[in-house]
Structure 1
């Protein structure tokens, strides 16, 4: 089965089509995931790139980048109680904020993304 990469090319890095949000990191889908009519909508959208999926190693990198993007968004949306006494995001709060079944969320990854966000804010 063919695998297709769909990613947003819009300036915001996010594009909604067919009831889904497509990110700049992209998502790999199976060719039979959509009807021919749906594929026509996706392929005709100038703010989406639709092309062959990268190999598994490259897909893992894209998946990690997408998880980091989702984590940044989740941290930005956390209420005050989603942070610990030391000011860092709580892992349980992030798990609740991310889509069910999100894999790869670790304390190490949260610390890495949090450090990046703090560095950006200090600039």
Structure 2
């Protein structure tokens, strides 16, 4: 039986992270407003999401007056790298080549993306050669 592969963060968690990456820091109320909280999302839902991201180690928080102010503890690239590592570890039991092939399937027709991927490969090889 194959393991189910899931993203490490849900949609709302990703929206909160995007908001904090762009704003630098925010409290619950301003995050709620920025995510369009007036429509369907309750303030408590946003508060729970911020707390969950804090417990996952993705956010820092400090208490100012009676409210917590949150900021991202990890940058977008680090989160992406961690997510890809998690997926690669799961797929490694199946076929790690499938993960690598998926990059080509997604971006194989874009020469600029292929050039960027090749440059990353070359830089990685050069770094490993120095060790």
The two structures have a TM-score, normalised by structure 2, of 0.34
The two structures have a TM-score, normalised by structure 1, of 0.35
